[in-house]
Chain A
Amino acid sequence: MGETGHMLPRTLFEKLWDAHVVAAPEGQSALLYIDLHLVHEVTSPQAFDGLRANGRPVRQPLRTVATVDHNIPTTPRGLPITDPIAAKQIEALQKNCREFGVPLFDMDSAEQGIVHVIGPELGITLPGMTIVCGDSHTSTHGAFGSLAFGIGTSEVEHVLATQCLPQKKPKTMQIHVTGELAEGVTAKDLALGIIGRIGTDGATGFVIEYAGDPVRALSMEGRMTLCNMSIEAGARAGLIEPDETTFAYVSGRRFAPKGKDWEAAVGYWRTLAGDPGAQFDRVIEIDAAMLAPFVTWGTNPGMVVPVSARVPELNTFAQESDRRAAEQALAYMGLDPGTPIESIAVDRVFIGSCTNSRIEDLRAAARVAKGQHVNPKVRAMVVPGSQTIKREAEQEGLHRIFLDAGFEWRESGCSMCLGMNPDILQPGERCASTSNRNFEGRQGRGGRTHLVSPMMAAAAAIAGHFTDIRNWRFQ
């Protein structure tokens, strides 16, 4: 309370934080209550083992929701998992969920999907929550105005055991976007443009709040794409204030509150928006008019230029360490400085991942693919984020468009975003990917990843090289 007895104006983040502090012991980190803990097969087995070793139960199994997504094949679901170690990891999650009473959307579930896709689409992710998951892209859920961040396995165990996490309070950053996103410039391009500007460590130690008309104008799918990539700028989390777009998306979803519960929830969610005059530790202005469809050229998401540009010259890097990193990145990527981006040919195209596998992403890609054919030199795959999205896309006939154009239409999962399952690049293969990381070897050892939007990926599949979607002739 201030001297006058009024609360100081607070940001959305500060309201979420204050609402979840369980204890603030002197000289220790604050203890934050976690409303929802999402769990998947890769980062949880050691955490459940830790519980067993100490004889601890899961404190709130019904605030815990599990699915399998990272290492499962995207081939038809009836087929056996050929990788025995992957199969064992999936079995471990099944066993752990049974033993500790955690709800699981299993392999054969009609709702299985990427953890950051199914939370929102099932109405499990709600505004105002604190959400964690042993996965860095948990930042996705910030699109709903929930404080959502990735944690390691020790912290997964901590949340399973206590439903709390000791947390140092992060700093606050507002990214204020002005103007309007041009046709063909998507939420993905906004995210890549921001990371290109502030760098992959530009928001380390901060929680980002995205604001401004172009952010407000984004659909929930677009907002999820934007918040998803917050971690690629180093941010602890990315947030967008909940508004009518948010409520309309959540309303009626399977696990969303209903009736009186819904009215009460929306009433509360409306109080979450930042107060006028609330201060951020740092504010960054982005002019949407300066953005373009982007393509990464290097081995981190900050190494990015507009599709109409060229691979940068090494003398444009001010710092020696950055220049050397760029040189190493170009050697890995097999690219020369000054190469026009549109002249770069691709071997593979991946449309999917927790960044860009939602229905709107598939609609955008299908609009580009309609009536076209994948270049004969390219292998292109579309991996819906969830079984729900897959069904919805099939009802709309999107799978027909993709299949007719020569794209593969797969089952849901993380797939080639990180290549833990059999979907990987071969050494030297170049891929236009709608995923979130172009790190060395991310999609397969020696694979060369270029991050783009779904429309840009579909266009590259058809053209056989990167091409400016703003000049595309839609059929």
Chain B
Amino acid sequence: MQPFRKHTGKVVPLDKVNVDTDQIIPKQFLKRIERTGFGEFLFYDWRFSGDGKNISDFVLHMPRYQNASILVAGKNFGCGSSREHAVWALMDFGFRVVIASSFADIFANNSLKNGLLTVRLGDEQIGEITRRAKEIDDYRLAIDLETLRVEDDRGFAATFTMDEFSRHCLLNGLDDIGLTLQHEAEIAAYEAQHPAGAEMRLIARIL
């Protein structure tokens, strides 16, 4: 996983609540068997018309937001389907941070596993960032995971929280499968007193 310590980048405001993962990456792009190359399909139905032309007033097409790496949205970002393709698409497109007032659980987990930082701020702070990103050209935020601070160079500053273990994993880009495998003895001991049930043995025999 890509470690995350600090990031400064351009902000693009989505200005929507309940952005579901079907919007982030529509289902027709889930048939690929790779982890890469999903960026071109990000927010596909909002970016492109039915005949594949740009929908020019969608924020990601606006010249002022080109090369943005921080996405700002309203509550419940990433709700719906568990598709990790949503995170792969955001990162492949160039996003390193999503700021929202809340995130769906599975999306937040998937982000953590890939090094996409999800920052929870209050609705008023989201409103302020959104306003600034709309009004100020090349509006940038600096996000520091070590100090848990978000700030611009115009006096906006906010702090966010994250559980200590998630923060530790992100800061160090830890392979958490490797971490779990360090508990091999405990897993083996658990399995010894919790053997696969009769149903599992039956499956083995029949299939």
Chain A residue at minimum C-beta to C-beta distance from B34: A46
- Which of B22, B34, B84 meets A437, CB within 8 Å? B22
State the CA gap A236–B79 with chains docked (Å): 11
Q: In the complex, which residues of chain B have a beta carbon less than 8 angstroms from the beta carbon of A441? A: 22-23, 26, 45
- Which of B32, B45, B163, B168 meets A445, CB within 8 Å? B45
With A162-B180, A166-B180, A445-B26 in contact, do A63 and B196 touch (Cβ < 8 Å)? yes
Query: A136 and B106: CB pair below 8 A?
Result: yes
Bin the interface of chain B by size: 35 or more
Query: B35 and A205: CB pair below 8 A?
Result: no
Number of interface residues of A (CB under 8 A): 82
Query: B18 and A258: CB pair below 8 A?
Result: no
Q: In the complex, which residues of chain B have a beta carbon less than 8 angstroms from the beta carbon of A204? A: 76, 102-105
Q: In the complex, which residues of chain A have a beta carbon less than 8 angstroms from the beta carbon of B30? A: 42, 70-71, 420
With A85-B32, A152-B110, A325-B18 in contact, do A439 and B198 touch (Cβ < 8 Å)? no
B136 adjacent to chain A (CB < 8 Å): no
Which of B138-146, B153-161, B182-190 lies at the binding interface?
B182-190
In the complex, how many angstroms separate the beta carbon of A52 from the nearest chain B beta carbon? Answer: 12
Chain A residue at minimum C-beta to C-beta distance from B26: A441
Query: B23 and A439: CB pair below 8 A?
Result: yes
Query: A103 and B204: CB pair below 8 A?
Result: yes
Q: In the complex, which residues of chain B have a beta carbon less than 8 angstroms from the beta carbon of A201? A: 18, 75-76, 79, 102, 104
Segment 16-52 of B: residues with Cβ below 8 Å from A: 16-18, 20, 22-23, 26-28, 30-35, 45, 50
With A151-B82, A154-B110, A201-B102 in contact, do A420 and B18 touch (Cβ < 8 Å)? no
Q: In the complex, which residues of chain A have a beta carbon less than 8 angstroms from the beta carbon of B106? A: 136, 150-152
B124 adjacent to chain A (CB < 8 Å): no
Query: B109 and A151: CB pair below 8 A?
Result: yes
A22 adjacent to chain B (CB < 8 Å): yes
B10 adjacent to chain A (CB < 8 Å): no
Could you give, for residues 211-251 of chain A, a 1 whenever the CB lies within 8 Å of some chain B CB and a 0 otherwise? 00000000000000000000100101000000000000000
Could you give, for residues 436-475 of chain A, a 1 whenever the CB lies within 8 Å of some chain B CB and a 0 otherwise? 0101111001100000000000000000000000000000
Which of A86-94, A307-315, A353-361, A378-386 lies at the binding interface?
A86-94
Query: A135 and B27: CB pair below 8 A?
Result: no
Query: A89 and B177: CB pair below 8 A?
Result: no
With A29-B165, A234-B76 in contact, do A62 and B204 touch (Cβ < 8 Å)? yes
Segment 58-107 of B: residues with Cβ below 8 Å from A: 74-76, 79-85, 87, 102-106
Segment 387-410 of A: residues with Cβ below 8 Å from B: none
With A43-B82, A257-B197, A261-B197 in contact, do A321 and B74 touch (Cβ < 8 Å)? yes
Query: B22 and A88: CB pair below 8 A?
Result: no
Query: A300 and B35: CB pair below 8 A?
Result: no
Query: A22 and B187: CB pair below 8 A?
Result: yes
A350 adjacent to chain B (CB < 8 Å): no
Query: B31 and A86: CB pair below 8 A?
Result: yes
Q: In the complex, which residues of chain A have a beta carbon less than 8 angstroms from the beta carbon of B20? A: 300, 437, 439
Segment 125-178 of B: residues with Cβ below 8 Å from A: 163-165, 168, 176-177
Add 17 more A-B contacts to A154-B113, A154-B114 (CB < 8 A).
A28-B165, A43-B82, A60-B196, A124-B199, A126-B199, A134-B82, A135-B82, A150-B82, A152-B110, A152-B113, A154-B110, A163-B187, A170-B105, A204-B76, A321-B123, A441-B45, A445-B26
Q: List 24 A-B contacts (CB under 8 A).
A: A22-B186, A22-B187, A27-B164, A62-B203, A71-B30, A92-B33, A135-B82, A152-B82, A152-B84, A154-B114, A157-B177, A170-B105, A201-B75, A204-B76, A205-B105, A231-B80, A236-B105, A321-B123, A325-B16, A437-B22, A439-B23, A441-B45, A445-B45, A446-B50
Counting from the closest, the 5 A-B pairs by CB-CB distance are A154-B113, A152-B110, A152-B84, A45-B33, A103-B207
B residues whose Cβ falls under 8 Å from a Cβ of A = 16-18, 20, 22-23, 26-28, 30-35, 45, 50, 74-76, 79-85, 87, 102-106, 109-110, 113-114, 123, 163-165, 168, 176-177, 179-181, 183, 186-187, 190-191, 194, 196-204, 206-207
